Structure 1
């Protein structure tokens, strides 16, 4: 009596496993990129860009140069402040960029009770 055994096809498991890993990798990369974009833009109003250009620190004051870009029809309010090494705000001032202009370059001098370590313009929002 002769018994014949049919030849089975080669297993396809490893090839399918690699494809699944590639799909998971691509989806993970897209999700990480999306979360990165959200994190970078969190707390900002779209269409308003504020930038600290320079600041000059003395023992009792800080002079800050900044610029703000925005839409022409928007009035924008920003906060300019000086802070110490623990990021405690020593002095702050609100700056208004009027409607009818697409931006503004400005200089403000903030008086401080003690020596600051930095200054910035931030928290810009349309009114």
Structure 2
């Protein structure tokens, strides 16, 4: 009696190709989502930077900061000081007028209690 060799497991080439396509599609979607999440909440064309701050007393903090934007745009920024719990203890709104590309300035904020830090919190185009 002749015995035949056991049949080799059949792997569907089409099934593998489908898995590869699904994997590539998932990777592209994940990359796109990462780019979106990295840029959410940012104002295009406005760059703000806190350069330094120094606590002057229990009621004042000095902050040096810079705002860059398109020269034709008017921008309003909020500069604030915060305490150890990150509660805002002082706030000031500044305007960067059209015709100015980059503004670097130093302000003294009055605070309701001793601040532990200061920052340019937000900027928006008017």
Distance 1:30 1:115 in 2: 48
Question: Any unmatched runs of 5+ in structure 2?
Answer: none
Map of 1:1-127 to 2, 5 A cutoff? 11-13=10-12, 16-17=15-16, 20=19, 22-58=20-56, 59-127=58-126
Query: SS of the residue aligned with 1:120?
Result: strand
RMSD, matched Cα = 2.8
Offset at 1:106?
Answer: 1.0
Distance 2:43 2:112 in 1: 32
Question: Any unmatched runs of 5+ in structure 1?
Answer: none
Distance 1:8 1:55 in 2: 76
Aligned length: 123
Offset at 1:9?
Answer: 7.7
**Residues 25 and 53 of structure 1, relative CA distance in 2, 3 Å threshold:** farther
Give TM-score scaled by structure 2 length: 0.80
Question: Contact 1:56–1:64 at 8 Å: present in 2 too?
Answer: yes
Query: SS of the residue aligned with 2:33?
Result: helix
